[in-house]
Amino acid sequence: MRYANIRAHLNLSKEGLMRRFLVAGNWKMHGSSEMTADLISGVARRAFDAASLSEKRALAYDILVCPPAPFLVQAVHDADAQYISVGAQNVSQYDSGAYTGEVSLAMLAEVGCEYVLIGHSERREIFGESDQVIAQKFAACVGFGSEVIPLLCIGETLSQRKSGDTEKVVAAQLDAVLNEVGIEGFAKAVIAYEPVWAIGTGETASPEQAQEVHAFIRNKLRGLDKPIAEKIQILYGGSVKPANAEELFAQEDIDGGLIGGASLKVDSFAGICEVAQRLSHDRV
């Protein structure tokens, strides 16, 4: 079954076991049919070559790739039986209708997508998606069931950080979604903290800076529902590379990464996956 590994992870989390790492690649508007095949096969090969004998049948962490929409069908086909999940980069908040250029959750589910990015900073900044629209898209995922898991992206700009408004901005972005779906809506979801000033710039929040915001997010959710807060994966995104992934992933509240540029090459993405594999043993 296409969703077996994801469902198993969700069930483990419900039992209160330690959160698994998730290494997610956002390809943005990059790619081709050839690149899709090469990346997925290359990452899968490297992941299983590096795995221990006991992990050969199932990795101890999760891998996700989010290619552009034209390559989703191929990606799902190529990732099948590789323990690699496929997600979309965007979705409509509407079920169907006269919305030219949009894609619905039912369409994503039909082709085998297991995740969808919601509220990436480029959707907010370039395409003008408001907190309200993002909350509606998240709510659509919740209403659709757990077949397509929303991966909510939140984070502050450089000016907001310099003004000391990081927590205020992150809280407001979370509150917009909480007001729409309640804390229960996060029972089957993922959050990615992406400081906008570190996306594609080569700048990275220090492990301590990232952990501080991740802890703030988890504590905010913990005040509403402790079990949900403890189980939800919170990823870090912002110029993650093999060289800095270990320091970041070693932080208590960082459960992996949403990777941009480094997800476009087998060596760099697989290198980050190998960090998740090594550190997974510390989370058992």
Indicate which residue of 9, 120, 156, 214 is catalytic: 120
Q: Is 282 helix (H, G, I), strand (E, B) or coil?
A: helix
Indicate which residue of 114, 122, 180, 194 is catalytic: 194
Whether 30 is catalytic is no
- 183 vs 175: CA distance, rounded Å: 10
The conformational region for residue 17 under phi > 0 = left, psi -120 to 50 = alpha, else beta, is beta
The neighbouring-strand residues paired with 256 are 22
The letter for the amino acid at 249 is F
Whether 120 is catalytic is yes
Question: What six digits make up the tokens of 123?
Answer: 């959707």
Nearest to 209 by CA among 157, 260, 251: 251
Asked if 85 and 114 count as a contact pair (C-beta separation under 8 A), the reply is: yes
Contacts of 170 (CB under 8 A, 6+ apart): 154, 155, 156, 193, 213, 216, 217
H helices present in the chain, as ranges: 4-14, 33-50, 72-79, 105-111, 121-125, 131-144, 158-162, 166-181, 207-222, 226-231, 242-249, 266-280
- Residue 179, judged by CB atoms within 10 A of its CB (0-12, 13-18, 19+), counts as exposed
The residues that are catalytic are: 120, 194
